[in-house]
Each structure stands twice: as C-alpha cells, then as structure tokens.
Amino acid sequence: MTAVQPFLFGNTWIEVRDGNDSCRAIFDRHYSRHHYKDGRRPKIFVGPGEKMVLITPCARAMFVWRKFISADGQDGVNCAVFRNEGAGLASDLITAADKLADLRWPGERHYTYVNPRKVRSTNPGFCFIAAGWRRCGLTKWKRLIILERLPEALGAAE
C-alpha cells in the first residue's frame, strides 16, 4: 500500500528530503534498490553529492537527481531513480523533472542508466526517449543503457 501525504501540494513534483518515508517506500520497490543481507534499512537512500529528491502529490511516483563525480566519466546531472506507480504518463513526469533540474543546474546534461534485464519492456528507456532523451551508449561493466538529454534539447522541445 502506498502512503499518501495529503498535506503536500504542487502540480507535478514536490521536493522532499533524502530519507522521506514515502519516497523510501517507493524506492524499496525499484529494481536498483540494494537490500542489505543483515536487514539494515538506512534512513537516507540517495548517494553522496548534490541531490534533488522529488515525489508526486499522490505519492505514486518518485524521481531523484544527483550531481556527483561519476566513476565511469559521465558528466552532468544523473537521474539516479525514477519510479512511477500510476502517477501519470511517465514521459510527462520526466519532462517536469527535467525542468526542475534545469532550474537547479542550468546548462547541464541529464543522463541515466537503464538495466534492460531488469525492466519489463520491449523498449527499455522508452519513457525517457518519449520525453526527448536519446540513447548514447552502454556502460562497460554491466552493459547498462546510457540515456541522455542535452541542454539544447529542452529549448527545442518547447
């Protein structure tokens, strides 16, 4: 059952702190969530660096942006987590999150990784592509799909 926070107001996304209980509940169901064998459940769940944790007013979707030094040399702001459990059209949610990231980090490239073996889709990452992103490669280690949205893409999409 999804926790609903009726006191939150906003159009599409509301920024909350890392460790927000409703966000953590959604993140616990994301394929990238690391579950500790000893049962630990850390309060915060976003890694180090600058971050923006977003949740929809209905608490059915979350989005996490991170700006950090990438181990694989990626530059820009990373979509570390996106999970939509029925808050609306995924590409619309991504577009709205892009705009918030552009306000916080103007002129930065946006990028994310998609594990094609972990998503139930014949076209992994399609919701990002529908939001104006493009495929730009694969990681060497786990062969994750790298998707990006260049800063110029937002101006062209409007």
Q: Is 14-157 a domain of CATH 3.30.70.270?
A: no
**How far apart (Å, rounded) are the C-alpha atoms in residues 55 and 45?**
14
**What is the pairing mode between strands 77-84 and 110-114?**
parallel
Low-confidence spans in the chain with pLDDT less than 50 = 1-2, 4-9
Whose tokens are 């949610």? That residue is: 93
Closest CA relative to residue 69, chosen from 78, 61, 56, 57: 78
pTM for this model (two decimals): 0.83
Please write the tens of the pLDDT for every residue from 117-152: 878 788 899 999 999 999 999 988 888 999 999 997
8 A C-beta contact, residue 102 and residue 71: no
What are residue 21's phi and psi, to 5 degrees? -60, -40
